[in-house]
Structure 1
Amino acid sequence: MDERELFVRGIILDPTKRILEIGPLNRPTVTKVDFPNCFYCDIRNTGQVKALYTGNEYLETTGIHVDVNTIVDIDYVLKESYKETFRGLEKFDYIIASHVMEHVEDIIAFLNDIASVLKPKGKFCIVYPDKRYCFDHFREGASFRDAYDVYRRGTSETARMVLDFYNTAIDENDAIVYWSAENITSFLPKNNTAKAIINYEKVINGKKMDDVHFWPFSAVSFLIFLYDCVRADLLPYTCIEFHPTQENSQQFMVALEYKPEILENGYPELENIRHWISTAPEDYYNSHFIQIKQNNIDLSQKVSTFNTELSLCNKKIDSSNSELILKSEKIKILKRENELLTFQNEGASNLIQNLSKKNEVLERTTEKILEKNDILLSRIQSLETIQNSTLWHMTKPIRTILDFMKKI
């Protein structure tokens, strides 16, 4: 589902309502399957539409291709006007014009004609190609001035729009090309001006062209056109939705609600349209954009300075990282040495524990020796006491005889 269909389905809340889609070609925004009371209308019958899109000057100029086998069947062929075409029939709750209004010769009369077949508070959904992002890119913008001139003096006054179209429209219709704005001057028109002048003369002489974009608007300039129509008491609608052209797209969307009292008092609607204009992105070059450009230059310089400083910081960081790597290696060596010392300390600790145990054994042995030594000393003292006694001296001859006898 593309953005056109999403937009329309966001407006049409009841799919059973009576709906008219104008100029659906091969891309209707509503289908009879999903919206059983929808009808298709065109200025040509189905066969004529297919014949037209088999090949024409419009297609050659714009580079557009349409598969005629995908063109939908037309239910109503437009007579003199929508009012006459649907006279006596039930009016519509919704009318849709997707990429249609730019092809209408008298756009102000068209808006009022559509109002004549809408129910009270009926909605008119408009999908419009933004001239900035389609083959109309290099064309002069449409204006209320030109539209009013055609409205007052007749469709022969569209001759200058026909001249502009055939002289300036190009055969590139890819929105991305215009959004990217790369080498855009290479697409400057190379059309045959003499041929464009011939078409201009045809319109002057009363001929209606097959297919032309008469009214190349941008999103904002279309709102300004509506604003001017309200000022001139020519627009019986209030704008209830506005979707500006999105990036890489080529169409904006507007929803109008039929409100005839605006023709009597348009001031509230002027305020309303001013609000919608204020919500849209700017589409013209002004002092604000000059300031933005200067700000971008200043910012670029600051970014350049910052990048230089960042480069110096990165060098310092690299140097610091090198030092950190060396210190990290030293820390690893110290860690290994510490592990070795820890291992050695554990060995020394074990040795000390063994020596401590041996020392305890030695102390116990020493204590025993000391105890025995005390006993021995006591005995010696006893012997000395005996030796010094009178009895010892009196028995000496007998000990001498016993010693002699032991030797025998």
Structure 2
Amino acid sequence: MGLEARQAAIRTLDAVLREKRMLAHVPADTRLVPADQARAGRLVSLVLRHLDPLDACIAPYLDRKPPLPALLLLRLAAAELLVAGEDAHGVVDSAVTMAKRNKGTVRMAGMINAVLRKVAVEGPERFADLPPQALPDWIGGPVRKRWGKDVLHAIEAAHMPLPPIDLTVKPGVTLDLPHATQLPTGSLRFSAGTQITALPGYEDGTFWVQDAAAALPVRLLGDVAGARVLDMCAAPGGKTMQLAALGAQVTALDLSQSRMDRVAQNLARTGLSADLIVEDAFDHAGGPYDAILLDAPCSATGTIRRHPDLPHVKDRTEVEPLTRLQMRMFDHALTLLKPGGRLVFCTCSLLPVEGEFQVTAALKRHEGLRVIPADAVALGGEASWQGPEGGLRLRPDFWADIGGIDGFYMAALTRM
């Protein structure tokens, strides 16, 4: 009946929605076989991507909002019925069985049974007419202000499907991988759920997982062969590997030892090398570097299509401290850069205050600093990606017909 996977999903949803823990910080249930672990993860993702529409389909059959344990059961079962299109009998029976096994929900098993039977019959039509899960106002407000209501709704719609998986392949390597789509920017795309570790070439280290958007900032640095390049916030190492594969002499810097251990593991698998330093970026006094990549800490709001838990856990209080940190890191990076060198600033954020506004503010703070205009078309993108300040703005609603792309901002700058 898949009860183990469903129960694991309920525990994880409780950790996210009640405890406000990011999925990355919720330990996997090692008691589950891999297939059940994967199924539990898919169920959690379905609920988080459609939480408000699911609640809207459940609410008409409730006299009052039930306690969270019962509500989570209803949400999970409704996601299976309305999003995944699972068989109603099996879903309802499993939900009732789970309710009866939990002392906190045993008295509500009859209510859960009655509600889900009605959702199974009447819910699909209601669900089809509902808008997608709305972004919280601290994200949606700035998006609407910058690009308008239609773009906001398009971004929200782009967050609903499970995202595809993108790979970056080592330069000069040609792979004949089944079911791969070659993106215009050069990344390879696979459908969600593809077992990447089973693909030919994985063990040989010929590729790594990296969203197509995240693979573009390195390309703004231009030809880095032989250049001394600082990857200022390196973990988990995708951009470090890109730089090393292009022949750069890479210094990878990160504050976290555990995250840097992951960079080392990725480099070892791919047969690439970099000088790894665990250090606070503000204490780093190396250089001067020919080029610096600053993928600054940010709200990560551009990655919601991959991390649907984020809007349910984070809030606006994190944004201002992050923007101040980004500004300080931007200024410090310039002190490590060789005159005439190139700095790429980027964030995986949808918020202009973490992207476009950071660059325009830096131009005012630093005399002689200028943006090197990016050519989106030459990179395999579209002219609409180019911002008036010269950077690139990517949004999840771009490439919607082929699976979208993460929200990202990036700009290359130089100063004599």
Does the alignment reach a TM-score above 0.5? no
| TM-score normalised per structure 1 | 0.32
Hey, which of these two has a bigger chunk of helix by percent? Answer: 1
| TM-score normalised per structure 2 | 0.31
